[in-house]
Structure 1
Amino acid sequence: MSRERIAPGPGQESVWDYPRPPRLEDSTKHIQIIFNGVAIADTHRAKRVLETSHPPVYYIPPEDIQQQYFKQTSRSTFCEWKGQAAYYTIQVNDKQAQDAAWFYPSPTSRFASLKDYVAVYPSRMEACYVDGEQVQPQPGDFYGGWITKDIVGPFKGSAGTWGW
């Protein structure tokens, strides 16, 4: 896969213009997450993390999540920028997505405002939307980025891109 930056058109962003270390910013876009026919998250108060070569990851404030569907698991991972992440399994009726969401209970000082905000892997949801547009999951399902028509790559995550 080519690492050559795709030039953004009007109203688009290139993930190759995002910073490293990543930047955290507030978003007023309408974010919706649907799982097994239920809206499990709906907000205009998300935060997004922008990092070189990655589509944005949206984090939802806990008060805009239907918490009854989220059960914390024993899984944890470490991000050099944000700190130790904890995970949730999402279950709505008879359908379950194991470790499909994550959050930072004690993020690093640089990402302190991200505390307890929840991100999901869009590939494990029925649908995720940004301002009504259904997102495409970041290839490879490791980082959980959300691809919309406003974001151009190429994107890290698919086969052959891990060394970028």
Structure 2
Amino acid sequence: MANTSDLVKLAQKLVSDGPHKAEHTPRRVRGLFNGRYAFDTIQAYHVWEHPYYPQYYVPISSFSPDASLSKTSPIDGTNGGAHLGRLNVGNRSTNRVLIFNTKTLQDLVKVEFGAVDQWFEEDVPIYCHPKDPYKRIDILQSTRNIKIALDGIPLAESSSPLLLLETTLRTRYYLPPTSVNWQHLTPSDTETLCPYKGRANYYHVKLDGKEYRDLVWYYRYPTTESAPIAGYVCFYNEKVDVWVDDVKEAR
């Protein structure tokens, strides 16, 4: 049971209430673990454990001969509808596994996204979590003037921004690196992953001896769909002052 209490609670909730939504996806889904594909399937499901984004659940039958999948213990309160599991490939294993036997999730397996070395949709690696098939990103060139400031100190200004519009989220303004007052920025060691954009790196902002951590991010090598923003920088709208054509946005 060590390190699996969160999985137990999730399984109990899914068996009791069902997922928020679950539907088959036609995408080929593969998981690389310890140098081998632990599973390979065109029968995966998008399962929304909550309303925000889905996870991949894969059929028991999709696990490869190189992988050993086993049930380790039934989960209390599920009446046999869910078990904790273990995935072994070679000399590595993970217990971040749930195996289901319910009407909605019959013979489906959740392997925690971060427990697998790399997930693929078709031949494309994915990061952080699966993309929601009902959300999209648009990146639009613009000539609107964008000004960024904090505590009255200008940080950036450009009339050639890229506007990134992501379903349900506020517009993000990506600015050319030459538009930034770099004397106020210092590199951060922070990295984050986004399924739509890839791996982000960050800068802190320093003003009059005060440091505002991870206020700016950029993608050195974004995903193909977000390629135009490579090298551009973006400030957290919620934490800085932003003017769009001299109209100040609310934070």
Q: Give the TM-score normalised by structure 2.
A: 0.45
Of 138, 154, 158, which residue of structure 2 is paired with 1:43?
158
Contact 1:29–1:45 at 8 Å: present in 2 too? yes
Q: Does 1:72 align with 2:187?
A: yes
Q: What's 1:54 paired with?
A: 169
Q: How does 1:146-161 map to 2 (within 5 A)?
A: none
Q: Deviations over 1:5-43 (max 9, x none)?
A: xxxxxxxxxxxxxx8221111111110011232211010
Identify the structure with bigger relative contact order (alpha carbons < 8 Å, sequence gap 6+). Answer: 1
| Structure 1: distance between partners of 2:238 and 2:166 | 19
Q: Which residue of 2 aligns with 1:128?
A: 242
C-alpha distance in 2 between matches for 1:37 and 1:96: 15
Q: Which runs of 5+ in 2 are unaligned?
A: 1-133
How many Å separate the matches in 2 of 1:112 and 1:52?
A: 18
Q: Secondary structure at the match of 2:170?
A: strand
State the distance in 1 between where 2:243 and 2:147 align. Answer: 5
Q: What is the one-letter code of the residue matched to 1:48? A: L
Q: Distance in 1 between matches of 2:151 and 2:211?
A: 9
The letter for the 2-side match of 1:37 is G
Q: Does 1:105 align with 2:215?
A: no
Partner of 2:14: none
Residues 89-142 of structure 1, C-alpha deviation per residue, up to 9 Å, x if partnerless? 0112223210111100111122222111111112322x21111111123xxxxx
SS of residue paired to 2:148: strand
- Deviation above 4 Å: which 4+ runs of structure 1? none
Please, which of 27, 35, 43 is the counterpart of residue 142 of structure 2?
Answer: 27
Aligned to 1:3: none
State whether residues 36 and 95 of structure 1, in contact with CA within 8 Å, keep that contact through their aligned partners in structure 2. no
SS of the residue 1:124 aligns to = coil
Does the 8 A contact of 2:172 with 2:237 survive in 1?
no
Contact 1:71 1:89 in 2 (8 A): yes
- Provide, for residues 60-89 of structure 1, a one-character-per-residue CA deviation record: whole Å limited to 9, x for no partner: 110001112111111111111110000110
* CA apart distance, 1:46: 0.6
Segments of 5+ residues of structure 1 without an aligned counterpart are 1-18, 138-164
2:234 pairs, out of 114, 119, 127, with 119
Corresponding residue number in structure 1 for 2:30: none
Contact 1:128 1:135 survives alignment (8 Å): yes
- Cα distance in 1, alignment partners of residues 209 and 165 from structure 2: 34
> Alignment identity in percent?
28
- Equivalent pairs, count: 118
Q: Counterpart of 2:170 in structure 1: which amino acid?
A: P
